[in-house]
Amino acid sequence: MKPEIEIYDTTLRDGSQGEGINFSVADKIRIAERLDAFGVHFIEGGWPGSNPKDIEFFQQARKKKFKNAKLAAFGSTRRKDVPVEHDEQVKLLIDAGTPVVTIYGKTSMLHVKEILRCTPEENLAMIGDTVRYLKDHGKFVVYDCEHAFDGYKLNAEYSLATWQAAEKAGADIIVLCDTNGGSLPNEVAAITRVAVGQLNCRVGIHTHDDIGLGVANALVAIEAGATHVQGTVNGYGERTGNCNITSTIPNIAYKMKKRCLPESSLRKLKELSQFVDEIANIRHSPRQPWVGSAAFSHKGGTHVNAVQKLVSSYEHIDPELVGNARRILVSDLSGRSNIVMKAQELGFKIANDTPELKGILTRIKELEHAGYEFEAAEGSLALLIHRKLRNETPPFVVESYHVSMRHDGAVQKGAAGKSTCEATVKLRVGNEVAHRVAEGDGPVNALDSALRLALAKFFPQLKKVQLTDYKVRILDGEKVEPISTQSETSEIGTASKTRVLIESTDGKDAWGTVGVSTNIIEASLQALVDSLEYGLLKKAKKKG
């Protein structure tokens, strides 16, 4: 079915101009293929006139078959006083071999006079000549009106004349660009209505997020009659970014009830968002609307209690519609409903009338007060619940450990030297004692190695469990009660505390565990022990 609103993705061009974003040619090919599979209608691959990397991208992209999307090359109108057929940048747009070419031109009189420094008439000719030339070469032409809104506010008559020059020359879509990202929704809506009323071709919208209204401005433009929206995955782009299509697409589909992409694609939206972040080597933001891990998370006890009874009470939509999932967070703000829903999510059979529930909740609040945090440490939380419900003896107990570090050579910047870390661990499994020594790149690595060596003969299945991430946070010190851990009881007093969060995987699932102490090694050991014990618990549950 033909979409009411077309999605034009510019992650590979406008998005790559964002701070910290750097795609290789291989990266761009992978993202383009994923965007095509997702179902977007246009993929802007880059600007072949600006750098060799984009030229190479288009050379490789010509060998690919895109099923859903049309590939677009991006560039500008011809230079002033240069015939279009002699303009090298325009020639490169033709040579890119894409079915679509998108060009931008000056819409604002300010830019015509101060940036181009040409006459208003010459700027109109530059727009018309370039669009006409591209159409003569069989291209589908998208014309981006740079600074459309600022230009219209400055000189409405001339701004409109630039749009009409592109339309008269044969542009297929005229796109209004809020290039500086500073327009308000009422301005965008009003000016878009003018464009829709004055132009016979389709009107599109391209917004930036400089004042936090990129998505809002795109949506009001659609309400005003625009049928084509440009943006980037996760809002990548210049300065504070472009319109985030990861938010725009579900808003169009589920809030505005307009056809844009198939529902099957929308269910892969979170996956697409995470994929592009991974390629860009950027940590996925948990606070991304719709697709972030926090988008459908519930922490306050009142909220969770309501969600337990009726999910729509605190959720605007079913998270599965965008490939996301509901998350129940556990903290010192938790009530019984938090614990019940989270425990059920972790695979425990528990209800509001389970006798152990009060003890679990009390213990969580005690630990949170001491600096523990379970939102990203579901492995530690699962162990806590398991211990309260089952009252079982731990599979192993660390009785003692020692970590030492030796450095040979001068200790100063730039000086050659070698550091050696060694850890000794003594632990008990039932009636047997294991005592192992290991070296590592650092104290935590050495401790992890010693633990694994000691446990190897008892639990060979732990070979699959690997540490994948390690984070440390220094907490403010405050007087608290002693906290009992599996290994020993530690007094956490007025000194600053360290919280260690470890992420582990068995190759299939990933989980987090947490440790807190005034000693970073002790905190790390707590998290390591929980990580390995949770690995055993998961294995036992699957067998059971």
Confidence of residue 415 (pLDDT cuts 50, 70, 90): low
Gyration radius of the chain over CA positions? 29
pLDDT at 131 over 50: yes
Q: How far apart are CA 298 and CA 29, in angstroms?
A: 38
Give every CB contact of residue 459 below 8 A, 6+ residues apart in sequence: 395, 396, 532, 536
Q: Are 45 and 92 in contact (CB under 8 A)?
A: no
**Nearest by Cα to 234 from 288, 192, 175, 286:** 288
**Beta-sheet strands, E only, within 480-543:** 483-484, 489-490, 497-505, 510-517
258 versus 512: the higher-pLDDT residue is: 258
Beta bridge partners of 76: 104
Average pLDDT, integer, range 325-334? 68
Q: Which residue has the tokens 């005229």?
A: 174
Q: Which residue has the tokens 């600006």?
A: 50
For 182-246, give the DSSP string: ---HHHHHHHHHHHHHH-SSEEEEEEB-TTS-HHHHHHHHHHTT--EEEEBGGG--STT-B-BHH
pLDDT at 269 over 60: yes
The one-character DSSP state at 298 is E
* H or E stretch covering 29: helix 25-38
Predicted pLDDT at 289? 96
pLDDT at 334 over 70: no
* H or E stretch covering 136: helix 120-136
* % of the chain beyond a pLDDT of 70: 92
Average pLDDT, integer, range 461-490? 67
DSSP SS3 for 31: helix
Tell me the Ramachandran region of residue 358: left when phi exceeds 0, alpha when psi lies from -120 to 50, beta otherwise: alpha
φ and ψ of 170, to 5 deg: 115, 10
The one-character DSSP state at 267 is T
Q: How far apart are CA 480 and CA 492, in angstroms?
A: 6
For the chain, the first-to-last Cα distance in angstroms comes to 48
Predicted pLDDT at 335? 67
Q: Which residue has the tokens 């009106």?
A: 145
Q: Are 4 and 249 in contact (CB under 8 A)?
A: no
Q: Are 54 and 47 in contact (CB under 8 A)?
A: yes
In a 13 Å sphere around the CA of 395, the CA atoms on its Cβ side amount to 19
Confidence of residue 452 (pLDDT cuts 50, 70, 90): very high
DSSP SS3 for 143: strand
* Residue 72 CB neighbours (<10 A): 26
* H or E stretch covering 437: strand 432-440
Average pLDDT, integer, range 188-194? 98
Dihedral sign for Cα 117, 119, 124, 128, please.
negative
Q: How far apart are CA 131 and CA 529, in angstroms?
A: 66
198 versus 542: the higher-pLDDT residue is: 198
pLDDT at 85 over 60: yes
Q: How far apart are CA 404 and CA 417, in angstroms?
A: 17
Predicted pLDDT at 327? 75
Q: Are 229 and 5 in contact (CB under 8 A)?
A: yes
Predicted pLDDT at 543? 58
Confidence of residue 375 (pLDDT cuts 50, 70, 90): confident
Q: How far apart are CA 519 and CA 528, in angstroms?
A: 14
Predicted pLDDT at 410? 60
Structural domains in the chain, CATH included, are: 6-280 (3.20.20.70), 297-369 (no CATH), 396-458 (3.30.160)
Beta bridge partners of 421: 405, 440
Predicted pLDDT at 411? 57
Q: Please give the order of strands across the beta sheet that includes 432-440.
A: 397-409, 417-429, 432-440
Q: Are 72 and 42 in contact (CB under 8 A)?
A: yes
* H or E stretch covering 73: strand 70-76
Confidence of residue 483 (pLDDT cuts 50, 70, 90): very low
Q: Average the pLDDT over each of 14-18, 67-71, 115-119, 359-363 and give the range with the smallest value.
A: 359-363
For 356-404, give the DSSP string: THHHHHHHHHHHHHTT---TT-HHHHHHHHHHHHH-PPPS-EEEEEEEE
Structure tokens at 512: 């987090």
Predicted pLDDT at 305? 77
Predicted pLDDT at 486? 43
Q: What pLDDT, in 10s, does the model give residues 227-255?
A: 999 999 999 999 999 999 999 999 999 99
Predicted pLDDT at 489? 40
Predicted pLDDT at 495? 59
Confidence of residue 417 (pLDDT cuts 50, 70, 90): low
Predicted pLDDT at 482? 46
Structure tokens at 513: 């565990």
Average pLDDT, integer, range 291-297? 88
Confidence of residue 121 (pLDDT cuts 50, 70, 90): very high
Predicted pLDDT at 123? 96
Name residue 243's amino acid.
Answer: C
How high is the mean pLDDT of the chain? Answer: 90
φ and ψ of 83, to 5 deg: -55, 140
Q: How far apart are CA 222 and CA 275, in angstroms?
A: 28
Dihedral sign for Cα 386, 388, 390, 396, please.
positive
Q: Are 58 and 89 in contact (CB under 8 A)?
A: no
